[in-house]
Amino acid sequence: MKLLLELFTDYTLRNVALGAALLGIVSGVLGCFAVLRRQGLLGDALSHAALPGICVAFVLTGSKAPLVLLAGAGLAGWVGTLLINRIVRDTRISEDSALGIVLSTFFGLGIVLLTWISKHNNANQAGLDRYLFGQAATLVASNVVTMAVLGGVALLVVLLLYKEFKLLTFDPAFAASLGFNTNRLSIGLTTLIVVAVVIGLQTVGVVLMAAMLIGPAVAARQWTNRLSMMIALAGLIGALAGVSGALISVSDHHLPTGPMIILSLTVLVLVSLFFAPARGLAWAWLRQRRQRRAMRAGRWQSKLKQGGQS
């Protein structure tokens, strides 16, 4: 209870919780499209590909302003996406290999740049590597505002292009036959995912970003068969995971925020998988057990007989 009160009074906690909630909403919404298009791991590749962008932005401008670094991250992530698309389209290399190639080589480049900067640049580079694991605890009000603006724009675009994105997700061939430029729409959607990744880098970091996109969408999928409902639920679940992760990490100063967000999210995913009505694994298991018991009790024989007589 005291913790909840602090949520509204404590400056740091408020920023962290707000930032995590924002990230949860944006990545939850965009993750729905990524997961339904079976591109869940794209977010993982993009977040790793963003690392060299952060370093290059720092080297070129000498600034550590989040907006500058995040612009670099976004650009690098975007280049990574185009490369992945090109490799998948024009060679026989499968999508998961293409993801792995871009992810690991870009990340390697990022590490080379990080180590190079730390040895050759007079300016203090400390703080660049916080994008690796994210440091939600260092979020200040201006960071949260930046995240809110970026996320708001992304959500607005989703709202405006909802119909097109829905069509692209479920029936790209039909979308193309209606005259929509599916290629451009696809790139647009991916660009929005890059925005979500960029928002997440500061909070949960490169490594855990994949789960922020996939987790809420997968959890929401268990509760509903409607896209609009799934998107709303995913945003909610993402926000819930974000806030609870932030609260848990603040309650004990040794706990890092990013991992706690991901662990709360994992719990939400598992609960949804097992206990969501209709699709829940627990219900399916109970149903199966009941049927098996009925079989063993021999009731099926009498049922068969009844069926034969009538």
Binding residues (CB under 8 A) for another protein: these are: 35, 38-41, 43-44, 48, 87, 90-94, 96-97, 99-101, 103-116, 119-120, 129, 132-133, 207-208, 210-211, 213-215, 217-218, 221-222, 252, 254-256, 258-260, 262-263, 266, 269, 273, 279, 281
Distance in Å, CB of 217 to another protein, minimum = 8
Nearer to another protein, 33 or 146 (CB): 33
Distance in Å, CB of 106 to another protein, minimum = 8
* DSSP per-residue codes, 150-214: HHHHHHHHHHHTHHHHHHHHH-HHHHHHTT--HHHHHHHHHHHHHHHHHHHHHHTHHHHHHHHHH
Nearer to another protein, 67 or 88 (CB): 88
Quote the CA–CA distance of 198 and 46 in Å, as a whole number. 9
Distance in Å, CB of 130 to another protein, minimum = 11
Distance in Å, CB of 36 to another protein, minimum = 9
Q: 162-166: which pairs have CB atoms within 8 A and are 24 or more residues apart?
A: 165/33, 165/189, 166/227
Percentage helix, strand, coil for the chain under 3-state DSSP, each rounded to 5: 85, 0, 15
DSSP-derived 3-state class of residue 9 = helix
Quote the CA–CA distance of 12 and 59 in Å, as a whole number. 30
Distance in Å, CB of 78 to another protein, minimum = 17
Beta carbons within 8 Å of 171's beta carbon, 6+ residues apart:
none
